[in-house]
Every structure is written in C-alpha cells, then in structure tokens.
Chain A
C-alpha cells in the first residue's frame, strides 16, 4: 500500500511538474545608462556639477516577449567599481553615486553602454610663486 502511494505521488509530480506546457517570459535587457539627479531628473549639458548636489546612476531597461518577467541583474561600473542593479521588471532604476574629481564614467558591463560626466573639484590652496 505504501508503495502504491509513493507511485501515485511520483506520477502526480511527473504530470504536474514535468509535463506542463513551456512557460513564456519577458526578457529584460538594459537600454542605456546615464548620470541623473537623485530625483531622476536629467542633468542639463551645461549644468554646474556641484559637490553638494545629489547625483545618481540611472539604468533604463526594456523587455521583449510576453509572460512573466525574467529577473535580471545588470552589472555596471562607476569609475571602475563594479555594482549591480536588479530588475524585476522593465523600467528605470537609480543608484546614488558620489562623483569624483575629473571624468566620471558609468558603464554597463555586458552591453558596453556608457555615460560620462565631468566634475571639477575646487581643490586645496596652491602656493602663488
């Protein structure tokens, strides 16, 4: 009797787990990466980048297909440091960033999408000869 129950349960599992029809997914993929304000607004081209300003990296994703979203983790670097943003669905996400003096570069590892922004730090006093 015990063997019968096990067999039935096994058949049940095979029927409901293995024999279901193929599931469709929406494939999320990154579309671009950019520097923005922390509130998500764009940084105009000639805006003065202020060390007291709050900035973020924004990654925008799109999806293809239908069905459930397939969760993806997007690896990107900011000034060479690797970071990850996880997308449960398509859209945009922000990650705050602290800018360094000079050229700041954000780049999506896989796609190679990148964005630059230049920040000039005032620096320390210099001797006047």
Chain B
C-alpha cells in the first residue's frame, strides 16, 4: 500500500512537470525599501500578448524583484502589465522575463534597465516595451503622399515635410498616404491615423506624432502644404560638346526665387527678373526647377 502511494505521488509529480505551469515568480516586498514602476506592453514574436495569465517579471541577478500578470484596459482595448519593481538601491541592473501562457513559454527580454528609486516608465499611450525579440525603435516617416493627388514636389528636412501642390487642389480634405518605420504608428494628437483612410485639413501646417514600434520614441513631424502661385513655362537647350545645356524659366511673377536642383541637391538659384530666369552651362543630367510652388523635372541631354 505504501509503495502504491509513493508511486502515485511520483506519477503525480511527473505529470505536473510534464505539463509546464506558470512560473512561480514571486518577490517578498517587505525586504525592499524602494520601488519603481512600469506600464508595459508585452510582445512575443511580433504579437502583443493578450491573456490575463501572461506574466512579466523583473530580476536582479536572477532574484525576482517584481512580477505581474497582464491587465485588460478597456479604453485602449489592449493588455498591459502594471509592474512594480523593488530594490534597496539605485542602479541595480534589471532583467525581464515574459511568460507566454498560451504557448507556455518563458522568454527573456534583451533590454535591461537600471533601477531608479520612484521612477516610472510608460503610460497607456506610450507604454514601456517588453518584447522578445526586441521591437523597432525608429519613428520615421519615409514617404508621404496624398491619395489621388499629384505632388509638384516634396522635401524632407529633418522632421519637416514640405509638399507643393497645384493651386487647384482643395487642401481642406486630403487623404494622407504614408510609409513609416516598420511597426510605427502615426497620430494626429493622440488619434491614430490610418494611411490612406483619413481626412485631414492641410490649410495650415499639421503636427503629427510618430510612435515607434517599441513605443520608446515619439517623434514630432510637421507637414506643410504649399499651393503653387503664378504660371511657369520652361524651356531648355541640350548640351553640346563645346557648351553646357541651358534652362530658361518664364514666370508670370517677378522677384520669385527659382531653385534648380540636381540629385536632391540645390544646384543654383536665381530670381525672376523681367519675367524670366536662365541657367546656363548645365552638365548633362536630370534637373528639378522649382518656382512659386511649381516644379518641373527637366532632362538635359548631350546633343550629338
């Protein structure tokens, strides 16, 4: 009978261990004087975890210093970890682990952070990222366009995008189509904008925010839309072996600056005088001429 009981117990433990269980992470809060806290989202293999049985924990040299399950936040329709971490001193290096209950896996988070007394990381808009593998932290707009609208020109300067459109375009209701860094999101205020499915008034400069995939970077972007003025007519002379090409711009308004650029670099500038500006001695290549929001691409070839 005794052997039977032992056998049953052994079998029970074998079964229990064969089917993994939630890790028994725990921390004795009474042993620590200070705390810091996190509002984090948890991502495994590119998917945000969304189960209240999922867990995250913080460790210092393998000792658990904080653990929590995910909590569903209805206002965001997402799951977050409200993690409190304990320590008795600043600067202890914190490591994190994730428990994915659906796959019954524990994942290490590559990111470490030093303990800072009373410090808080993350909020519901820009939560702290606990991910395996790490998520992208770029928050760039790599392309910007408007659905169904031909751009005269677009230029990126730092975090400002300047767009020139024909003056016939109604800018009060434009549908922005854009490309962002992988996994990033674009917000107008705190409202997420879907590329190609929005309606924005660009009469005035618009301030966008781009949140990186890992939510660690929130970058401000300004988009300025200019409407063209005046009417420009363009002429050219091809280059020949003894002389460079030439571009002549006739414009209905005087004193406007004409910018000639090549390969996205300003090549020369002139001011409209007596209704025209002429650029001479141009080497073979493709030039962009810009005046009063009007833009024309002109190719200078070698005439043979």
Contact = CB atoms under 8 A, between A and B. Distances in A.
Contacts of B236: 125-126, 128
Contacts of A126: 235-237
Given A120-B241, A128-B235, A128-B236, 18 more contacts: A50-B242, A51-B242, A120-B303, A120-B304, A121-B240, A122-B243, A122-B303, A123-B237, A123-B238, A123-B303, A124-B237, A125-B235, A125-B236, A125-B237, A125-B246, A125-B248, A126-B236, A128-B296
Interface residues of A, number: 14
Interface string B228-239: 000001111111
Interface of A: 48-52, 120-128
Contacts of B237: 122-126
Contacts of B234: 127-128
B217 interface: no
A120 B243 CA distance: 11
Contacts of A127: 233-235
Interface centre among A49, A120, A121, A123 (most CB of B within 10 A): A120
B56 to A, nearest CB: 62
A52 B243 CA distance: 11
B60 interface: no
A43 to B, nearest CB: 13
Contacts of B238: 122-123
3 closest cross-chain pairs (CB), A and B: A48-B241, A125-B235, A128-B234
Interface residues of B, number: 17
Interface string B284-304: 000000000000101000011
Contacts, number: 39
A51 B240 CA distance: 11
Interface centre among A50, A52, A122 (most CB of B within 10 A): A122
B248 to A, nearest CB: 5
Contacts of B298: 128
Contacts of A50: 241-242
Nearest to B299: A128
Interface in B239-268: 239-243, 246, 248
Nearest to B242: A50
Interface centre among B237, B240, B248, B303 (most CB of A within 10 A): B240
Interface centre among A51, A121, A125 (most CB of B within 10 A): A125
Nearest to A48: B241
Nearest to A122: B240
A120 B235 contact: no
Contacts of A48: 241-242
Contacts of A121: 240
Contacts of A49: 241-242
Contacts of A125: 235-237, 246, 248
